[in-house]
Structure 1
Amino acid sequence: MNKPEVWLRGKVVEVPDLLQPAAHALLQSREEVEEYMRDFPEGLLWEKPAGRASVGFHLQHLSGVIDRMLTYAKAEKLSETQFQYLKNEGKFNEEISVEFLVNNFQEKVDEAIDSLKNTPENILTEFRPVGRKALPSTVIGVLFHAAEHSQRHVGQLLVTVSVLKDLDSR
């Protein structure tokens, strides 16, 4: 069934108007990850075509970025667990499956949508420090970054998946 892109399907229920673009981008990323990863061979998860990032990295990073941006949106600092996750993004781990990474991303998008629903529009321009250097951003800035950064990595994921599947079929 051909559906229009998420942003052309109307409002996401309960998400404030100013956060609709972020919700649309996150939900679009979720759908595309599900599509691109369907029937992806487990043995290719950590392959790095042309020395570029692996599919496993992109899937881990997608979840990690959303998690970190949601933390910053709440004006919190990253936990040691989050720093450890960041450090391990893209490291080969034979115990991690495609299904696990896709499910983890789906759950993180669900968490992000719930967070958007619970973000009052009147706090969107409040200052939010980002990272160890406390670089300046705002609530809307970090939430939008979660969405646009997800779209960027989904695009890279598509290319990597396509290249690996093509090489694998030869």
Structure 2
Amino acid sequence: MKPASTLEVWLRGPLPEIPALLQPVAHALLQAREEVEKIAGGFPNEKLWERPVGVASVGFHLQHLTGVLDRLFTYAKGEMLSPSQLEWLANEGKPQAGQASFEELFQHFSQQIDKALAQLSATDTSTLLEGRGVGRAQIPSTVLGLLFHAAEHTQRHVGQLLVTVAVVGRNVEGKVQNVDL
């Protein structure tokens, strides 16, 4: 049998601090962090904002992963976005101070996952079906709907990020350089 650390996160067993109903959300977020971390040290920073064939850049995906987790978990708490969250949203896809390298952007994402896990551990499962509004229009959702969407949205963008990393990390011979997928 493989060592637990080589298995996908969801196969390693329950996380003791996370309520049972929220285990899939936590597993998905931790899996996303591990997948992005694998490429954090080798991605060439000069390619961070390249948009091959017009798709979103690696930098955008890293900013968006961080921002969307923050926003969806804020809505799950029943709160509106703060001015700083709205500023982050407006600047997704643009180089910013403190976000000049893959590593810096990964650290923001990793810290946001830590915040999300702390919120999951403190979530009263009796509130999961409570209604929550999304955005200024207060589009109806639930606590569970928002938390689940945060997990699946994170996984979707990590997949897009990995493909973009593979494309922009190729050298002229078509080989992937500095990227271990």
- Name the counterpart of 2:57: 54
Aligned-residue identity in percent:
56
Query: What amino acid sits opposite 1:41 in the alignment?
Result: P
- Name the counterpart of 2:7: 4
Q: 1:40 to 1:134 in 2, by over 3 A?
A: same
- 1:93-112 paired onto structure 2 within 5 Å: 93=96, 96-112=100-116
How large is the Cα RMSD of the aligned pairs? 1.6
- Name the counterpart of 1:31: 34
Q: How many Å apart are 1:167 and its aligned residue?
A: 4.1
TM-score of the aligned structures, taking structure 2 as reference length: 0.89
More helix per residue: 1
- Name the counterpart of 1:151: 155
Q: 1:15 to 1:94 in 2, by over 3 A?
A: closer
Secondary structure in structure 2 of the residue aligned to 1:137: strand
Separation (CA, whole Å) in 2 of partners of 1:30 and 1:114: 15
Separation (CA, whole Å) in 1 of partners of 2:115 and 2:56: 26
Instruction: Specify which of 41, 45, 70 is matched with residue 42 of structure 1.
Output: 45
- Structure 2 unaligned segments of length 5 or more: list them: 175-181
- Name the counterpart of 2:177: none
- Name the counterpart of 1:117: 121
TM-score of the aligned structures, taking structure 1 as reference length: 0.95
Length, aligned pairs only: 170
Q: How many Å apart are 1:17 and its aligned residue?
A: 0.6
- Structure 1 unaligned segments of length 5 or more: list them: none
Query: What amino acid sits opposite 1:114 in the alignment?
Result: A
Instruction: Specify which of 136, 140, 143 is matched with residue 136 of structure 1.
Output: 140
CA contact (8 A) 2:41 2:103 kept: no
Q: 1:139 to 1:168 in 2, by over 3 A?
A: farther
